[in-house]
Structure 1
Amino acid sequence: MNLIVSGFETFGDLSKNPTIDILHALEQEQVEDVTLTTVILPVVYQSCFHSLNDLIDDINPDAILCLGVAAGRSSIQPERIGINLEDLSAEGQGPDNNGDRPIERKILEETPDAYFSTLPNAAITAEIQAREIPSTVSNSAGTFICNTVLYRLMHKINSESRNIPAGFIHVPATPDMVTKRPDLPSMHLDNQVEGIRRAIQVIRDSVKLDLER
């Protein structure tokens, strides 16, 4: 299986972005029967999807998994849906890395209000939980850059009639990111890497099953 996995650069007042470390770990110890291509995306509304879009066109992958950090969440969370909205008024979130702070702005005009992920989210969550790592399906990817990437990704796949399973997973902060914020939950990077590796195995097996039908 040819798989694209994306992460994000650091942003705001966060000291790091664990998705970068997750991608590096996956590159060093890849999942069996998976050819992995990774990409780090900018935390900028207007350009966050450009390099991922080009990569999809270049390699025509069998599946796509996007990763993002959500400080404040306590588990690894596959996202169920991306909505056509960019709005920081209710996020408690600073602007993107170019200073953009949209209020009730559509991602794309004259397109659907939302798209669902096509990854096997329930199976992914169950497999991660089976490894005694917290995981739950999330019904909101927010309205920051993560949601924008998920929405644009699913719009591309749907509008171009591509049969590519794709979606998004949020991971928590790591302990070193919250040393001054003990009220925020965190998860050790090793558990995050293992959880995402298990997610990739589930995606691989799902793609294989579809090809055999």
Structure 2
Amino acid sequence: MILLTGFEPFGGESTNPSWHAAQRAAELLVALGLDAAAVEVPCVFGRSIEVLEAALGQFEPDIVLCVGQAGGRGSVSLERVAINVDDARIPDNAGLQPIDEPVVAAGPAAYFSTLPIKACREAVAGLGVPVEVSQTAGTYVCNHLFYGLMDLLQDRRGIRGGFIHVPFSTEQGSAHGQPGITVEAMAAALVAIATTTAETALDARITAGAEH
């Protein structure tokens, strides 16, 4: 069972391609004969993790892909690490704006994704979709949910999970003068990430680091 999550719109946007891509990817995975479901999560500190936890209980997945929007990036970003800090530049959709607060009190400083991020990068690149391994998921609700996911999975052995950022959609990118890709390309990338994760026990040993 593959669970995908995407966020509701935030930051003044009327749409969030992370949710549309997650929905479409779930449809494509089902068409391939795989069990998959998509759940929309609120762009709200705390509440987003609660919705995710309920979805984990409902669907009992083997793989979890949480997806969020990173407007301004030009590639699908496989996030490597979630850090235990909320530091919101803008309020969330409930008006919350935590500053230098832990996601989980007394939790570890960070968690690494358990997706085979480098093998997934190669699979997505093979589709012709721009893709990267990212070393930061930010300190907003995306990182909050990513950290919350990995913390929840500590008590659910055998489930692999991680976080993927997607750029603006092509329409949003045009409106903002920023890079954008189609929701269909995002969905295809998510399908490749899900299927590669299902087929890959040990990640590829190839470079995907950064100098800064």
Q: Same fold by TM-score, threshold 0.5 exceeded?
A: yes
- Determine the structure 2 residue equivalent to 1:61: 61
Change (3 A) 1:121 1:173: same
Q: Is the 8 A contact 1:15 1:177 kept in 2?
A: no
2:158 corresponding residue in structure 1: 163
SS at match of 1:29: helix
* Equivalent residue number for residue 48 of structure 2: 48
Q: Is 2:21 aligned against 1:22?
A: yes
State the secondary structure of the residue aligned to 2:176: coil
Question: Comparing 55-64 with 113-122, which one deviates more in the overlay?
Answer: 55-64
Alpha-carbon separation, structure 2, partners of 1:205 and 1:12: 37
Q: Compared with structure 1, are the counterparts of its residues 7 and 161 closer, same or farther at alpha carbon in structure 2 (3 Å cutoff)?
A: closer
Judge which range, 171-180 or 26-35, deviates more. Answer: 26-35
How far off its partner does 1:128 sit?
A: 0.7
Q: Structure 1 residue 95: deviation in Å? A: 1.0
Q: TM-score, normalised by structure 1?
A: 0.89
Q: Report the Cα offset of residue 24 of structure 1.
A: 2.8
Matched, 1:145 2:141: yes
SS in 1 for 2:29: coil
- Higher-strand-fraction structure: 2
Residue correspondence of structure 1 range 25-174 to structure 2 within 5 A: 25-30=24-29, 32-88=32-88, 93-158=89-154, 160=155, 162-174=157-169
Code of the residue aligned with 1:17 in structure 2: it is N
List runs of 5+ in structure 2 lacking aligned partners. 203-212
Given that 2:22 and 2:67 are in contact with CA atoms closer than 8 Å, whether structure 1 keeps it comes out as no
For this pair of structures, how many residues does the alignment match? 201
Mapped to 1, the partners of 2:147 and 2:119 lie a distance apart of 22
2:12 aligned residue: 13
Displacement of 1:161 after TM fit?
5.0
Moved over 6 A (4+): none
TM-score between the two structures when normalised by the length of structure 2: 0.89
Distance verdict in 2 for CA 1:36–1:124, change over 3 Å: same
Q: Distance in 1 between matches of 2:164 and 2:33?
A: 21
Root-mean-square deviation (Å):
1.6
Letter in 2 for 1:86: D
- CA distance in structure 2 between the partners assigned to 1:60 and 1:206 by the alignment: 20
What is the identity, as a one-letter code, of the residue corresponding to 2:25? L
